[in-house]
Structure 1
Amino acid sequence: MTLNIRPTQPNDILPLSALMHEYVVGFYNNPWPGDQAIELLFKNLLDQQIGVQFVAEQEGELIGFATLYFTYSTMKANRVAIMNDLFVTEAWREGEAEARLFEHCQRYTREHGCAYMSWITAATNERAQQLFERLGAARGTWVNYSIT
């Protein structure tokens, strides 16, 4: 069984939408933003201007995805990659898919001249924190805020 990590392609929209639904609604218990909003996001990521999305594919089936969005750091005067998503379906967790998706994002960040890659995860998502620490990531010192 060969695991393939690759950029998303136009024909991935239906299976990727299903994965994103499992991630947004099933994993994080958030409301679904709607098929049209997800399709627009998907199309915006395909041109790799605002970000890039990768999928993990096992024997023709999409089993996970990771999304990088781009921003800039004033302190580094350079582009930064924000890993907004890293998701693998339950059946494939604890395997190589998560690590390979993460490593692919990290490699993309380096190869495209980004200053660094950063991300956040839920404080309760200890499994993800263990994965990141096992892969050599360091916990940051910044405090995360948001407002709506």
Structure 2
Amino acid sequence: MAKNVNDITVSIRPTDEEDVPLIMEFIKAIADFEDLGDSVLASEEDIRKSLFGPKPFAEAAIAEVNKEPAGFVTYFHNFSSFVGKPGLYVEDIYVHSEYRKQGVGRLLMAYCARIAKERGCGRMDWSVLNWNPARKFYENLGAEAHEEWIVYRLGEKEFLELAKK
């Protein structure tokens, strides 16, 4: 899919296994943006297995501006028992700073929305850091912050300990 936006050509394409190094570059870029660079534990092999192995757990797409990598999105399916349908969870969305405010992020989110529609999803979800200026972008898409929900997480060490019980 290619669109002309603001005198640039933006195309969004699903990734393939050859994109693993590029996906890792984007993962490191978003981690650096969020001041979480030391938190990236994934290797290229981890990404290869998780996105392109026998049982893929997630998918990714790349945004290109004039054929140059400009951004990416990773997503996977979750399930809402309240809605009774799968949902599409956007794990990461990132656009390099020089391509922001040019419609690239909107096209990445629209790409995900089309996938959610095609797959019969009942909603799309994602999390964003409270200081991230992209919150305004998401609100302009029509998204609502659900501030009454608090995200909890068990890290690998913690869930391995729990699994022993």
| 2:150 equivalent to 1:144 | yes
C-alpha displacement at 1:59, in angstroms? 2.9
**Matched residues, percent identical?**
23
Q: 1:69 aligns with which of 61, 64, 76?
A: 76
Alignment partner, residue 45 of structure 1: 51
Superposition TM-score, scaled by structure 1 size: 0.86
User: Which amino acid counterpart does residue 45 of structure 1 have in structure 2?
Assistant: L
**1:34-113 paired onto structure 2 within 5 Å:** 34=41, 36=43, 38-46=44-52, 49-113=56-120
User: Which amino acid counterpart does residue 59 of structure 1 have in structure 2?
Assistant: N
C-alpha displacement at 1:138, in angstroms? 2.2
Which whole-Å CA distance do the structure 2 matches of 1:42 and 1:58 have between them?
24
Q: Which runs of 5+ in 2 are unaligned?
A: 1-7, 155-165
Bigger shift: 133-142 or 75-84?
133-142
Superposition TM-score, scaled by structure 2 size: 0.78
Which whole-Å CA distance do the structure 2 matches of 1:39 and 1:29 have between them?
24
SS across alignment from 1:2: strand
Which whole-Å CA distance do the structure 2 matches of 1:135 and 1:6 have between them?
21
Go from structure 1 to structure 2 and tell me whether the alpha carbon gap of 1:88 and 1:113 turns closer, same or farther (over 3 Å shift): same
Q: Which runs of 5+ in 1 are unaligned?
A: none
Bigger shift: 52-61 or 39-48?
39-48
SS across alignment from 1:87: strand
Larger radius of gyration: 2
Which whole-Å CA distance do the structure 2 matches of 1:29 and 1:133 have between them?
23
Which whole-Å CA distance do the structure 1 matches of 2:17 and 2:151 have between them?
34
Alignment partner, residue 14 of structure 1: 21
Aligned residues: 145
| 2:159 equivalent to 1:129 | no
Root-mean-square deviation (CA), in Å?
2.0
C-alpha displacement at 1:107, in angstroms? 1.3
| Per-residue deviation, residues 46-91 of structure 1 (Å, max 9, x unmatched) | 3684222111012332111111121111112221111111100111
